[in-house]
Structure 1
Amino acid sequence: MSQSLLRAIALLERVAGGTATLGELAEAEGVHKSTVLRLLRVLEDSGYVQRTDDFRYSLGPGLFRLAQQALDDIDVRALAAPRLRRLRDDVGQTVHVAAFDGRTATYVDKLEPRDAAVRMASRIGSPAPLHCTAVGKVFLAALPVPEREALAATLDYPRLTPNTLASPQELLAAAAEVARRGWAHDDAENETFINCVGAPVLGPDGRVLAAVSISVPDVLLPREAVHDLVPHLLSATQDVSRACGYLPAPPTGTEPGTEPGTEPRPDEESVP
């Protein structure tokens, strides 16, 4: 890859971290302002960066169009399949993938062990109730609190087992715990003999694209042992999230050369 292309990518990443002046970007890259300006003009002409009235650079609309197209093109099921097959084989249990349309969770994939002694009743395309499945709780927990509360208030709460959560208050308390902890459980809440753990798959913007669960009949493992599978689950969902373009937030702090106000604003049309 050419040095100019690498430098242009680095500039985009720095601008994505916060608006910056030409001087700040040049200092951070360790090159002359004229080199940075030449690249910024190419990026600006393409719509990938834009310059504000106070001579600072921010991401441009062209980049957002590309980002939206990338989001639209993400096929979570296809990207996840190799890693989730490995998860299934590692734990020897059934793995589900679910999607969410804002109100309803739906199973979109199911990976069963080849020698499964007990088959799950779930089917691809069947709904996953939000109030009594691990994947449902993952999706609910991902919503902003006002949306979470509004949705919980509209749900039906059929009691499918003695452990099923039966009210918005119980579900909201469980969702808050999921949001804090990062994973969900279904302790025989949807079916009397099935325990599950679930975790989110995140997209480039940090939003939940899908939820993955491990489901285990209690004749194979007790509930506590199912919870012990969470590290395997989180390792898999983190790998799938990265495959979908998610990058964890960098440590707090500002990179050298990007502090606002470190130098006078230059007239960028005449580079000293």
Structure 2
Amino acid sequence: MSQTVDRALSILPLLAEGPANLEQVAVRLGVHKSTALRLLRTLHEHGIVYRQPDQRYRLGARLFALAQQAVENLDVRDIAHPHLVALNEACGHTVHLAVYEENEVLYIDKVESRYPVRMYSRIGKPVAITVAAVAKLLLADLSEPERRAVAEKLDYPLYTSRSTPNAAAFLAELAKVREQGWATDLGGHEESINCIGAPIRGADGRVVAAMSVSAPNVVVTADELLTLLPMVRRTADAISREYSGTAIPRP
């Protein structure tokens, strides 16, 4: 039975490359045509593959429907939380998880610092979108026209002397973040708080969430916090792999 399942599953990546006829499937699996036909018929009955009028087989609509349903039911917070806790235990600083929804970037998880100086942030609260590292990561993944449209609608409050002053500066920052694959907020929202972040990607490579590590400079300097960037990126990559069920290459 396990061999039959293995062979049936091996058909899917073949058909993902494009339609294939019975002989091509049999050759790829290394089985007789009758065995390949039996497997294809079973998959066809369940809508996983579809037989075209030219007698070639392709992936069926049912497979895509199941995949979409699975993605919609994934909760990135549930998957990410153990990784965020592990990162917090390793570095001791506040860890956040955020998503972009309805033109806002919202915190959906937070693991508190072990240090007595705590950050004022809470789950469900929108972030300062023009300066926060997680916001930069999420907006940087938008297409260029989408980034420009968002940037031109935003206000640019000067929280500190390091705040993003206008749309042009924000777009330049997003382009930089998009290229390097990570982001910072070094005193842009609060003079005394620094933050570094990395993106979490789905199976298609798009950013589905962003995570960050934040700390006050009375606990750790900005330069010291930046030394944690490899650890933060490894954590984000681990969450991405688990969320997507595959290895996600960095763009």
Superposition TM-score tier, normalisation by shorter sequence: over 0.9
Does the aligned pair in 2 maintain the 1:141–1:178 contact within 8 Å?
A: yes
Q: Which runs of 5+ in 2 are unaligned?
A: none
**Is 1:201 paired with 2:200?**
yes
| CA shift digits 1:25-57 (9 cap, x unpaired) | 322222223222221221122111223344443
Match of 1:174 in 2: 173
What is the deviation of 1:204?
Answer: 2.8
**Is 1:133 paired with 2:129?**
no
Displaced runs of 4 or more, over 4 A: none
Does the aligned pair in 2 maintain the 1:206–1:246 contact within 8 Å?
A: no
What is the deviation of 1:229?
Answer: 1.0
What is the rounded CA distance, in whole Å, between the counterparts of 2:26 and 2:248 in structure 1? 24
Match of 1:40 in 2: 40
**Is 1:60 paired with 2:56?**
no
| TM-score normalised to structure 2 length | 0.92
Cα RMSD after superposing both structures: 1.8
**SS of residue in 2 equivalent to 1:79:** helix
Over 3 Å counting, the alpha-carbon distance change for 1:143 and 1:102 in structure 2 is: farther
What is the deviation of 1:248?
Answer: 3.2
Does the aligned pair in 2 maintain the 1:138–1:183 contact within 8 Å?
A: yes
What is the rounded CA distance, in whole Å, between the counterparts of 2:20 and 2:127 in structure 1? 46
**Mapping for residues 116-195 of structure 1, pairs under 5 Å:** 116-195=115-194
| TM-score normalised to structure 1 length | 0.85
**Mapping for residues 17-96 of structure 1, pairs under 5 Å:** 17-96=17-96
What is the rounded CA distance, in whole Å, between the counterparts of 2:24 and 2:179 in structure 1? 37
Does the aligned pair in 2 maintain the 1:109–1:124 contact within 8 Å?
A: yes
Over 3 Å counting, the alpha-carbon distance change for 1:110 and 1:11 in structure 2 is: same
Does the aligned pair in 2 maintain the 1:96–1:110 contact within 8 Å?
A: yes
Does the aligned pair in 2 maintain the 1:205–1:246 contact within 8 Å?
A: no
Over 3 Å counting, the alpha-carbon distance change for 1:166 and 1:53 in structure 2 is: farther
What is the rounded CA distance, in whole Å, between the counterparts of 2:58 and 2:193 in structure 1? 50
Match of 1:97 in 2: 97
| CA shift digits 1:221-266 (9 cap, x unpaired) | 221222211111111111111221242368xxxxxxxxxxxxxxxx
Over 3 Å counting, the alpha-carbon distance change for 1:246 and 1:182 in structure 2 is: farther
Kindly, what percent of the aligned residue pairs are identical?
Answer: 44
Aligned residues: 249
Q: In the alignment, residue 166 of structure 2 is paired with which amino acid? A: S
Q: Which runs of 5+ in 1 are unaligned?
A: 251-272
What is the rounded CA distance, in whole Å, between the counterparts of 2:143 and 2:17 in structure 1? 24
User: More relative contact order in 1 or in 2 (CA 8 Å, sep 6+)?
Assistant: 1
Q: In the alignment, residue 160 of structure 1 is paired with which amino acid? A: Y
**Mapping for residues 11-22 of structure 1, pairs under 5 Å:** 11-22=11-22
Does the aligned pair in 1 maintain the 2:205–2:248 contact within 8 Å?
A: no
Match of 1:221 in 2: 220
| CA shift digits 1:39-77 (9 cap, x unpaired) | 122112211122334444332110111111111111111
**SS of residue in 2 equivalent to 1:98:** strand
Q: In the alignment, residue 139 of structure 2 is paired with which amino acid? A: L
